[in-house]
Structure 1
């Protein structure tokens, strides 16, 4: 399944590099503003891991705020897109969050993972690695699909199970099968709490600019959560 996810995002890399930043309100006017509000505007001398960097949008924002950035992703095509965006301003590495991360203990002040963890079935090893490489009192900030949203795609109709779902995304005239794992909110929260202290649970709502661009989507997102954001601290 891991290879199928990589292949899907190799195909999607062109869309992420050239279209998502401006044409996807779910990213530009919903998830990204809510995530960036949790990150200090000044990151001088701070070390940030962009865990699942895609085409590098988040890494670019952290660099602009003064951070030293390492960006990683399992998709080779996404990594090439990120390198084109970031140049020599970040360390960009092709690797999976399901393998041992090649960083020393207590390396990073922040780990940010945007819409990535739902592609991993078991978070145990990944969170152990995050805890190891995050500095004491460092922040883990991640977003995932909201369990409420994923219920509509469930074939089992069992909210309490972790379930493999294959969604279909129409991008660039292609229909791309994208596998991911749906899980209940209590599992998301309780797995995080095994390793970190929960600072904030955020169910974002769209910005006003979303209404200007796509009023129908704005109304939908104001009433129905699509993503879930977890802000946690390494102080356990």
Structure 2
């Protein structure tokens, strides 16, 4: 699975670097605004981990808000794109989230993982690591595919199964790319989060109006995500 994800996102790196910030309705005008609403505008002096940083959009947002930022991604191509974006203003490195995190305990005030965790089958060791490196009282914020969306779009027979799905994306730079990820039921997402953290909020975001102003050609997709959840956001914290 890791090799398939790495291959896909190495191909997608240029699209994330040059197009996603303005051309992707799912990212720019749906997931990202909802995630940013859950963060303080001032992160001055706080230590933040961007877990699955891709081309560094969130990394840059954290820097702008004054944070001390560490960022990791499985793809060397994504890491290079993130470094081109922010230079030496953040500690950005290649790292596989299925391996122990290269950080001391109680290091971070905030861990954010954007649309990354559905590429990992077993969350238990990863959440244990996130809990280890997060300070007491620190925030864990992540987004994933909504399990109902994947269940209905892919017409799966068993909602309660954790299963590997295969999708195909068409992008400007990469062309057609096969993307694989895991779908799991909502109760597994909630229960795993609650096992290691205190769950604060569960959010099913809706697109911002700017979506249609910028991407009128994507009206069908806008209407789908306006009325049916596409992503799921979880906000939690480590107990004091």
TM category (shorter chain) comes to over 0.9
For the residues of structure 2 that align with 1:20 and 1:39, how far apart are their CA atoms?
21
- Counterpart position of 2:145: 145
1:155 Cα deviation after fit: 6.2
Q: Which string of whole-angstrom CA distances, capped at 9 and with x for unpartnered residues, describes residues 134-184 of structure 1? A: 000100000000011101354641100000001111113621111100000
For the residues of structure 1 that align with 2:199 and 2:137, how far apart are their CA atoms?
12
> Cα 1:156–1:224, aligned 2, differ >3 Å: closer, same or farther?
closer
Given that 1:53 and 1:73 are in contact with CA atoms closer than 8 Å, whether structure 2 keeps it comes out as: yes
Match of 2:221 among 199, 217, 221: 217
For the residues of structure 1 that align with 2:237 and 2:60, how far apart are their CA atoms?
23
For normalisation by structure 1, the TM-score amounts to 0.97
Given that 1:153 and 1:165 are in contact with CA atoms closer than 8 Å, whether structure 2 keeps it comes out as: no
- Counterpart position of 2:191: 190
For the residues of structure 2 that align with 1:101 and 1:34, how far apart are their CA atoms?
27
- Counterpart position of 2:56: 56
For the residues of structure 1 that align with 2:114 and 2:17, how far apart are their CA atoms?
15
Structure 2 residue matching 1:169: 3-state secondary structure? strand
Given that 1:167 and 1:178 are in contact with CA atoms closer than 8 Å, whether structure 2 keeps it comes out as: yes
For the residues of structure 1 that align with 2:206 and 2:108, how far apart are their CA atoms?
29
Structure 1 residue matching 2:87: 3-state secondary structure? helix
Given that 1:55 and 1:85 are in contact with CA atoms closer than 8 Å, whether structure 2 keeps it comes out as: yes
For the residues of structure 2 that align with 1:176 and 1:58, how far apart are their CA atoms?
23
> Cα 1:155–1:220, aligned 2, differ >3 Å: closer, same or farther?
closer
- Counterpart position of 1:90: 90
For the residues of structure 2 that align with 1:4 and 1:95, how far apart are their CA atoms?
16
Given that 1:47 and 1:67 are in contact with CA atoms closer than 8 Å, whether structure 2 keeps it comes out as: yes
Aligned residues: 236
Unaligned runs of 5+ in 2: none
Given that 1:210 and 1:217 are in contact with CA atoms closer than 8 Å, whether structure 2 keeps it comes out as: no
